[in-house]
């Protein structure tokens, strides 16, 4: 089955700097890669996703890149703000309503 | 509804008691998932329902855990004879091919077994 590894487990950056979180997956058949943000006491919220037919996707300060050959994908947050502080999870699946397999999460702290 | 709704939001129960957690998915979503998140940990898959197909129960940790989905909508996760290690947040999610199979989560049910 699919296995997703996520690094780093914790990340601390200065406000205004960029943050990068990386994930690798094992199943070459996986074709859908979402990222979720989880704030304390809340459920995970989808922030961006990418499908295997594209290499990069951007939404304002957030971008995701996908390297299918190497089986890894990354989340990039630019111009970080205090409200970006949260736990971020990557996930992978074969689309078609299959279960998501999650990475272990990254606790991101933005220092003012 | 507008989002995935879960109840109760918080539940404290005594060891050995049974608990039921309810999930009301987004209207029209055919797929429904249950995940478990222990304190400070990642999301562990429990069970997945898709339409009228047999559920994928491969993530249920023991036979004390069961789930059903009535009428293709509301789902109930039941934990029998609860144990302290069952303490966690139980997250429900739903998706639909009509919305690109994007999976949306509820706020979770926080279960504490004392």
Q: Which residues of chain A, if any, have pLDDT below 70? A: 96-98
Q: Closest CB to A99: pick one of B30, B48, B108.
A: B48
Biggest CA-to-CA distance, chain A = 42
- pLDDT at residue A6 in the model: 97
Average pLDDT estimate for B5-30: 96
- pLDDT at residue B105 in the model: 95
List chain B residues with CB under 8 Å of A89.
42-43
List chain B residues with CB under 8 Å of A97.
30-31, 50, 95, 97, 101
Scanning the structure block, which residue is given the tokens 């029998």?
B80
Q: What is the overall mean pLDDT for chain A?
A: 94
pLDDT tens-digit series, residues B21-69: 999 999 989 899 999 999 878 899 999 998 888 899 999 999 999 999 9
Contact A43 B105 (CB under 8 A): yes
pLDDT band at B15 (very low <50, low <70, confident <90, very high): very high
- In angstroms, the separation between the Cα of residue A86 and the nearest Cα of chain B is 12
Suggest the residue from A1, A96, A100 to mutate for an interface test with chain B (most B CBs closer than 10 A): A100
- pLDDT at residue A96 in the model: 64
Query: Are A54 and A64 a contacting pair, CB within 8 Å?
Result: no
Query: Are A34 and A44 a contacting pair, CB within 8 Å?
Result: no
Share of chain A above pLDDT 90, in %: 84
pLDDT tens-digit series, residues A22-32: 999 999 999 99
- pLDDT at residue A59 in the model: 94
Average pLDDT estimate for B5-10: 96
Q: How far apart are alpha carbons B23 and B32 in whole angstroms?
A: 9
Contacts of A18 (CB under 8 A, 6+ apart): A76, A77, A78, A79, A80
List chain A residues with CB under 8 Å of B60.
none
């Amino acid at each position: 089955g699919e296995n997703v590894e996520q690094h780093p487990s914790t990340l601390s950056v200065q406000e205004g700097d960029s943050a990068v979180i990386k994930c690798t997956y094992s199943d070459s058949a996986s074709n859908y890669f979402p990222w979720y943000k989880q704030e304390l006491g809340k459920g995970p919220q989808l922030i961006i996703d990418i499908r295997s037919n594209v290499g990069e996707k951007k939404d304002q300060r957030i971008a995701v890149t996908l390297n299918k050959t190497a089986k890894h994908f990354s989340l990039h947050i630019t111009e970080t703000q205090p409200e970006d502080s949260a736990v971020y999870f990557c996930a992978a699946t074969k689309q078609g309503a299959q279960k998501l397999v999650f990475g272990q999460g990254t606790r991101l702290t933005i220092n003012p | 509804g507008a989002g995935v709704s879960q109840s109760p939001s918080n539940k404290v129960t005594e060891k050995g008691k049974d608990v039921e957690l309810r999930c009301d998915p987004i209207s029209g979503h055919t797929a429904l998932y249950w995940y478990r998140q222990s304190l400070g940990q990642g999301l562990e898959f429990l069970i997945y329902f898709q339409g009228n197909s047999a559920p994928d129960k491969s993530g249920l940790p023991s036979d004390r855990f069961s789930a059903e989905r009535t009428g293709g909508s509301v789902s109930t996760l039941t934990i029998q004879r609860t144990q302290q290690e069952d303490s966690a947040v139980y997250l429900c999610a739903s998706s639909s091919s009509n919305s690109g199979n994007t999976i949306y989560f509820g706020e979770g049910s926080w279960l504490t077994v004392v």
